[in-house]
């Protein structure tokens, strides 16, 4: 068994080496290899950002990986289209220019993630453009959009920047603090709101950016998009699925906020760390995703019965 395993590994190395030898015989292959090397250098930075946040219970990694899986699935479904696309001389020259510029500048931009992500995105565009032409982006619009979003994994930063641009400062945090305060008053807790703080005689909790529910709403909305694609829904149904997901996530954030607040004020720091940390985040995310999945499943079955009836 070990001999067979060793043989398989050796055979794999031989195949990879032969493929590399074939690749470097042409200018196009050499430039593709050059661009791929930059991607391999950027990969540890990309993974190094997502992995620690996954361990802390953050949900962004799930959104990023889901978008990549959907993009790969869509590309695989229509893989025959690639054989019909061929880059023109102009497209090939543009692609080569992007690859060379991105590769040359990349070593000087290792000081932060965003310039590395931007240059890697330019290189990806260059590799696709020089191989299949600019038409590939119009033929595969959804995969292009998803891949472009996930190159820079800090989706929360992007969403926050857009949110802050259109919404008053701390607007959502104040709404969540108000909703949490009102809900706790309804069940008998002596809570009062002071801006973005939920206060008790024994202490107070700040509703910061990470507690306003927007990240989870975006993630569940993306899940709605994925399920719409999976069930092959029309545009109207897709909008309904995405909107319902965002609304459900925002509403569900209120009891989560109540639980974290009560844990902090009454149960002690260990319980607060539990519900505010990895395990609490995973429990909440799991319950929310499961509930949303079964709601969508029921809606799809109901719609199917109505259409068949």
Q: Angle, nearest 10°, between helix axes 27-55 and 2-23?
A: 130
Is 116:106 a contact under the CB 8 Å cutoff? yes
> Exposed, middle or buried: residue 2 (CB in 10 Å: 0-12, 13-18, 19+)?
exposed
pLDDT at position 8 is: 66
pLDDT at position 76 is: 92
Average pLDDT, 10 consecutive residues per value, the chain (309 residues): 53 70 80 93 94 74 84 91 93 95 95 94 96 94 91 80 78 92 93 92 87 85 81 81 89 92 90 84 85 81 67
Number of H helices, E strands in the chain: 13, 3
pLDDT at position 20 is: 72
pLDDT at position 6 is: 44
pLDDT at position 2 is: 46
Cross-strand bridge partners of residue 203: 200
């Amino acid at each position: 068994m070990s001999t067979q395993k060793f043989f398989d590994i050796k055979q794999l190395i031989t195949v990879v080496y032969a493929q590399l030898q074939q690749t470097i015989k042409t200018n196009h292959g050499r430039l593709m290899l050059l661009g791929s090397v930059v991607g391999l250098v950027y990969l540890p930075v990309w993974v190094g950002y997502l992995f620690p946040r996954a361990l802390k219970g953050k949900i962004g990694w799930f959104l990023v990986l889901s978008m990549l899986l959907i993009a790969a699935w869509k590309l695989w479904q229509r893989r025959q289209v690639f054989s019909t696309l061929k880059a023109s001389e102009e497209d090939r020259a543009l692609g080569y220019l992007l690859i060379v510029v991105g590769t040359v500048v990349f070593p000087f931009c290792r000081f932060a993630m965003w310039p590395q992500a931007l240059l890697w995105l330019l290189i990806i565009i260059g590799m696709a453009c020089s191989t299949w032409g600019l038409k590939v982006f119009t033929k595969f619009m959804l995969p292009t959009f998803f891949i472009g979003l996930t190159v820079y994994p800090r989706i929360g930063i992007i969403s926050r920047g857009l949110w802050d641009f259109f919404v008053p400062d701390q607007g959502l945090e104040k709404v969540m603090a108000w909703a949490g305060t009102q809900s706790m008053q309804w069940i008998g807790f002596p809570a009062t709101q002071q801006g973005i703080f939920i206060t008790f005689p024994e202490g107070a909790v700040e509703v910061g950016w990470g507690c306003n529910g927007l990240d989870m709403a975006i993630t569940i909305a993306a899940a709605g998009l994925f399920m719409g694609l999976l069930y092959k829904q029309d545009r109207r149904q897709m909008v309904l699925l995405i909107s319902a997901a965002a609304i459900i996530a925002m509403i569900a954030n209120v009891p989560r906020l109540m639980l974290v607040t009560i844990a902090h004020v009454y149960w002690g720091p260990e319980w607060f760390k539990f519900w505010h940390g990895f395990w609490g985040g995973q429990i909440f995310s799991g319950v929310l995703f499961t509930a949303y999945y079964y709601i969508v499943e029921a809606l799809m079955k109901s719609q199917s019965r109505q259409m068949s009836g």
